[in-house]
Amino acid sequence: MKRIECVDVLRGMTMAFMLVVDNPGCKPFAPLEHALWNGMTPTDIIFPTFVFVMGVSMFLSMSRSGFHLSWKVLKRFLLLFGIGLVCNWISKGVFRGTWGLEGIRAMGILQRLALCYGISALIVCTVPHKWTGWTVSAILVAYGALLLLGKGYVYGPENILARVDAAILGPGHVYRLDNGIDPEGILSTLPAVAHTLIGFIVGKWLVNKDFRRMDTAAALMLSGGLLLLWILPLNKKVWSPSFVLVACGIATLLLSAFHYLIDEKGVWKHTGFWKVFGSNAILCFLLCNVIVWAMHASGWKAAVMGAVGSTPWTSLLYALCGVLAIYLVVLPLYRRKIFIRL
């Protein structure tokens, strides 16, 4: 199968922007922050787009192996989850000054990727693909009902998402910010799995060059998500069904447009910058964490921001310098075709 470049570009672009918002110098511009609760900012689309692209990539990779579960799938799940726990342990030590095992946050970005990948792989390898769309619908309907019946839009510890995390993970391993509501919590992983499966379906259409269906589905997801706002507001932190539909609609339109410009017409030729980040995306994410830990532990971040002043512009410049540093580290690997796969 010929490599589809637009997938690499969208993955790389998503990772590059994720690095910008994950390492600000101080308080950034409003579009570079997450919505406090209900609503959506450009930043809220970044990680969900990465989850969507993971679903697209799942179809591309698993179609070569005949959609069979393998040790490779389990190994990737375990590595992603384990590395995520190690990152949380280091973050706890750097920012809270305690290096014991107690109080480590159990969930996180890499853990969410691991769960979405593992559960989605199990579904697409055991359930006929003609039922994938119905599986997505069932998950979103059930989760929407759960939010409505379980105070899922209450921004506090009485929210069912917070209560389930506290009950299963224990009070010592839950997210300590956002009123106890973990943006990568247990229950909200369910709609994130549906998010991944939508990417998987779109990946099939992309391979089959069924762009009319892609564009139609994108329009339907966007309109459906906006209609759901009346009962299920957009909310990235609870990963609401309306948020899933809107975010996947936007990602599908971007993927379709990128394919037209890059793979079909070839008018967008200079995509190497984005593919550098897309080729080693998880490594880039880990390097961003290393920069955050090092700059905080050494006190350099405070010194730098004190010297240049704490404004949204200096915050953005600081973040872009971090992205450039990561680019310079990963670029030689890209040129030598060294791709670190989990």
What does the alpha-carbon distance between residue 48 and residue 59 come to, in Å, rounded to a whole number? 17
DSSP sequence for 6-60: HHHHHHHHHHHHHHHHHS-SSS--GGGS--SSSB--HHHHHHHHHHHHHHHHHHH
Q: What's the pLDDT tens digit per position in 26-65?
A: 899 999 999 999 999 999 999 999 999 999 999 998 888 7
More confident site: 253 or 72 = 253
Q: What is the largest CA-CA distance in the chain?
A: 59
Amino acid, res. 241 = P
Q: Which of 258, 203, 228 is nearest to 40 (CA)?
A: 228
User: Where do the H-state alpha helices sit in 97-177?
Assistant: 109-126, 132-149, 160-169
pLDDT (mean) for 102-126: 93
Q: How many residues does the chain have?
A: 342
Does the pLDDT at position 1 exceed 70? no
Residues 148-171 pLDDT 10s: 999 999 999 899 999 999 899 887
Q: How far apart are CA 289 and CA 312, in angstroms?
A: 21
Rounded Cα gap, residues 292 and 300, in angstroms: 10
Q: Please, which contacts does 39-45 make with residues 24 or more away whose CB atoms are closer than 8 Å?
A: 39/233, 39/234, 39/235, 40/234, 40/236, 40/243, 40/246, 44/236, 44/243, 44/247, 45/247, 45/250, 45/251
d(CA 120, CA 97): 37
Nearest to 121, CA basis, from 83, 84, 68, 188:
68
Distance from C-alpha of 244 to C-alpha of 47, rounded to nearest angstrom = 12
Which pLDDT band, with edges at 50, 70 and 90, does 75 fall under?
A: very high
Task: Say yes or no to pLDDT of 2 above 80.
Answer: no
Average pLDDT across the chain, whole number: 92
Q: Is the pLDDT of residue 140 over 80?
A: yes
**72 confidence band (pLDDT: 50, 70, 90):** confident
Per-residue pLDDT at 193 exceeds 90 = yes
Backbone angles phi, psi at 103, to 5 degrees: 80, 10
Report the DSSP beta bridge partners of residue 39.
235
What is the distance between the alpha carbons of residues 310 and 316, in angstroms, rounded to a whole number?
10
pLDDT at 174: 80
The 10s digit of each residue's pLDDT in 270-311 is 889 999 999 999 999 999 999 999 999 999 999 998 998 899
- pLDDT higher than threshold 90 for residue 330: yes
Overall average pLDDT of the 17-30 stretch: 93
